[in-house]
Structure 1
């Protein structure tokens, strides 16, 4: 019977060793899961911290953008006021020039017409529709020389144009 007991014991030990191996594998698997779970939780917390940090940066940038938009709106309002003031001044200047009884014209540094009164246009009725802001003075003279009924322009148009051009030059 001792042999039976020893055989039974050997079988029992072998069975227990097999179960111990299975339990060791299960334990390793469960420990791996726990460790991965801790890592994921750690990573999740790290991602959460990053999200909070990014939210703060987004808030800062949004505040900066709102400030910039406020400044832009303020600048646009100032620009609109300046444009209105310039338009108003231009209208007042035009009204003042129209009250002058003589022909009056203003030319810019490039000798282009900026503004003239109706009296100035009435001096040259055949080309009045061509005398518009932006046209050069020498172009106006050329048009007048070609179409005018003025004696000097009819007899010697080139001379008339050069004399008028010389009289126009700033001294």
Structure 2
């Protein structure tokens, strides 16, 4: 007996849609109804007249599951285009996080030193805390947050991943 196991991979999808009420709920509902997980979701209008939005979805699944997700998204009426950036090729992914750290003395100095190493900017400071803004790949942000736990992490807010293809051609 041969047991076939499918490889589960993380994929970043770019979904271009009409900017209309309820589309985000319909897309999230499609994922929920089929038991697919959304690891990250961001959305913003991308045209001057605000008529079109780009939704960036990070999800995981086998090749078969990803095909199903893309096919289901393509069937939704206000969807213009679905692009699997992971399968498409070279692309750029970034995330932004606000990281609040409280501490005094050596912990405060260490937080500033680490922020410098990770190119995090201080966007708010009091005598007892800092709020850092850090951007980059998810792994960089995960590492920065982990290090801040050791020096007084209070709170983290993350945007989720945004992504775009590399090169001259639009996605």
Q: Give the shorter-chain TM-score range.
A: under 0.3
Higher relative contact order (CA 8 A, sep 6+): 2
Q: Which has the higher strand share?
A: 2
- Between Structure 1 and Structure 2, the one with more helix by share is 1
Q: TM-score, normalised by structure 1?
A: 0.19
Q: TM-score, normalised by structure 2?
A: 0.19
